[in-house]
Structure 1
Amino acid sequence: MARMHSRKKGKSGSKKPLKTSYSWMNYKPKEVELLVVKLAKEGNAASQIGIKLRDVYGIPDVKTATKKSITKILKEKKLAPNLPENLTSLLEQVISIKKHLENNKKDLHAKRNLTLT
């Protein structure tokens, strides 16, 4: 964020806490990895796995708990998808916009959105 009365950039901004495991967390690193594998076999994407671990199991950050990211764990267990998750979601978005444009040919906003994606 920039300073108001000078031409310099400021240093303010939120920062993640230190990368130490949480003392109140009841799961060991191997248990967290097994949970990640279990959720991946159920058909969840990496972002959905992180959200479920946070909300249901009380694991705030997989990387601090296991020293590995979710995608790295999935690659080790050979469960990672061929395409990255963000590319997959972009392709799904393009398909849905094209399907919409088949029915609504004069929708200029959708045409613009298609060129942006």
Structure 2
Amino acid sequence: MARMHARRKGKSCSKRPLITENPTWVTISATEIEDIIVKMAKDGNVSAKIGLVLRDQYGVPDVKLATGKTITQIMKEKGVAPALPEDLSNLMRRAIDLNVHLKENRGDISNKRGLMLIEARIRRLERYYKRNGVLPKDWKYSLNTAELMLK
């Protein structure tokens, strides 16, 4: 499949080994993993960072195999999930930073196009999340509201 905003095809990447159960060498129980996730989420960490810490410091290769649920599902159950999905908020941060750059450098037309592409991705994700009920139907993206929500 081709890339979204480029006319080139992607390379295939490595896949995880097909494992259906938690490895025996993982010593942490599922409840301990959930407690760690909740504690880190309350500290303000996003789910990707929590997964990295669990892998590197606690030796948990896959949270879903260990607990039966993903990190975001655990965060939603415990009530510590962020208001916006992580991928949408990351794109909005990138758009804000690029807009600040473009205010200082008005002639930077390649980054102006980059901002358009990022905003197109944001609108596409917005439609997807509205359709699946993650965002309310009246939620609307704009740079001003994004700055207020994220900073």
Aligned to 1:108: 109
Deviation track 1:71-116 (CA, whole Å, cap 9, x = no partner) reads 0100000001111000000000000000000100000111010011
Cα-Cα RMSD: 1.1
Give unmatched runs, 5+ long, in structure 1: 1-12
Residue 15 to residue 42, structure 1, CA distance change in 2 (3 Å) = closer
Give unmatched runs, 5+ long, in structure 2: 1-13, 119-151
**Deviation of residue 14 (structure 1)?**
3.4
Aligned to 1:29: 30
Q: Any residues of structure 2 matched to 1:1-117 within 5 Å, and which?
A: 14-117=15-118
After TM superposition, the runs of 4+ consecutive aligned structure 1 residues lying more than 3 A away are: 13-16
Aligned residues: 105
TM-score between both structures, scaled by the size of structure 1: 0.86
**Deviation of residue 24 (structure 1)?**
0.3
Identity %: 43
TM-score between both structures, scaled by the size of structure 2: 0.67
